[in-house]
Amino acid sequence: MSNDGHTLQASCWANGKDLVNAQIDLNKCVATSLPSKAWLSTIASIPRRHASILFQLRTGHIALNKHLHRINCVDSPLCPACEEAPESVDHFLLFCPAYERARLRLLFEGGPSTRGLHALLSDRKLLRPLLQYIHDTGRFKRTLGDLRLPKEPTHEADKARPVPRR
């Protein structure tokens, strides 16, 4: 990239403008700093691969066609489930008509706040319903396998898992 390209990129980043397919806006919408203590506390109660998926959703760097197309891994950014729109994080979580049934379960389990991307990817109470939604869609089954969640711990001692310190 030329110096002008770096300048444009830095300018867009500083002003919060869309440079690459609304990626900057997604990051601003979801989190201002990663990993925060609150984020580490949130993910401490789930398996690492589920935490990884959440992090990938929050950053937009996940195996959805919009991202895969951007890095030249697929020919089209279109959603393979509905073929109506680019398969972005917000399309996958909020709008894809092919996942409407799973989304209704998410709405039933998580309530009306599941209709917003920020809440879905940040609210600790929505963590299990969101991960269940991801499992129910089957979108990552081929690449990540079975994403069923382990049952919630029933004993208080099992619930608290210390957050790793740096």
pLDDT score, position 87: 97
- Is the pLDDT at 166 greater than 60? The verdict is no
The contacts found for 54-61 with CB under 8 angstroms, 24 or more apart, are 54/121, 54/127, 54/130, 54/131, 57/89, 57/93, 57/121, 58/27, 58/30, 58/31, 58/34, 58/121, 59/26, 59/27, 59/34, 60/23, 60/26, 60/27, 60/88, 60/89
Q: Is residue 6 part of a domain?
A: no
| pLDDT at residue 9, as a whole number | 43
Rounded Cα gap, residues 86 and 54, in angstroms:
20
Residue-wise DSSP of 155-166: SHHHH--PPPP-
Is residue 110 assigned to a domain? yes
Chain mean pLDDT for the chain: 78
Express each pLDDT in 97-146 by its tens digit. Answer: 999 999 999 999 999 988 999 999 888 889 889 999 999 999 999 888 88
In a domain, 81, yes or no: yes
Residue pLDDT, tens place only, 43-58: 787 888 888 898 899 9
Residue 128 lies in a domain: yes
Q: What per-residue confidence (pLDDT) applies to 71?
A: 95
Are the C-beta atoms of 113 and 119 separated by less than 8 Å? yes
- Give the pLDDT mean for 7-23: 44
Q: Is 20 part of a structural domain of the chain?
A: no
Domain assignment present for 163: no
Domain count, the chain: 1
pTM recorded for the entire structure? 0.71
Residue 14 falls within a domain, yes or no?
Answer: no
Residue 2 confidence (pLDDT): 40
Q: What pLDDT does residue 155 have?
A: 44
Is there a domain that residue 75 lies in? yes
